[in-house]
Amino acid sequence: MAHYVRFDWAMKRLLRDKANYVVLEGLLSSLLNKEIKITEILEGESNQDAEDDKQNRVDVLATDEKGVLYLIEVQNNSETAYFQRMLFGTSKLITQYIKRGCDYGQIRKVYSVNLVYFNLGMGKDYVYEGTTEFRGIHTDEVLNLSPFQMQQFDADGVKDLFPKYYILKIDGFDKVAKTPLDEWMYFLKDGSIADKPKAPGLERAKEVMLYDTMSESERRHYDRVMMDAAIIRDNVETARVEGRAEGEAKGRAEGRAEGEAKGRAEEKIGIARNLKSLGLPTEQIAQVTGLRTEEILRLN
Give dist(CA 69, CA 63) in Å, integer.
5
Strand ordering across the sheet containing 110-116: 38-42, 57-64, 69-75, 110-116, 164-169, 127-130
In three-state form (DSSP H/G/I as H, E/B as E, the rest C), the secondary structure along 91-144 is: HHHHHHCCCCCCCHHHCCCEEEEEEECCCCCCCCCCEEEECCCCECCCCCCECC
Confirm whether pTM is higher than 0.85.
no
140 burial via Cβ count (<10 Å: 0-12, 13-18, 19+): exposed
Give the DSSP H or E segment for 165: strand 164-169
Rounded-to-integer distance, Cα 165 and Cα 90, Å: 9
Count of other CB atoms within 10 angstroms of residue 161: 15
Q: Give the model's pLDDT for residue 49.
A: 45
Return the ∠ at Cα 202 (arms to 197 and 207), rounded to 5°: 110
Task: Lowest mean pLDDT of 107-116, 193-202, 232-241, 277-286, name the range.
Answer: 232-241
> Per residue in 48-64, pLDDT tens?
444 444 444 557 899 99
What pLDDT does 56 receive?
A: 44
Residue-wise pLDDT for 162-190, tens only, equals: 999 999 999 899 888 889 999 999 999 98
Task: Give the pLDDT score at 46.
Answer: 44
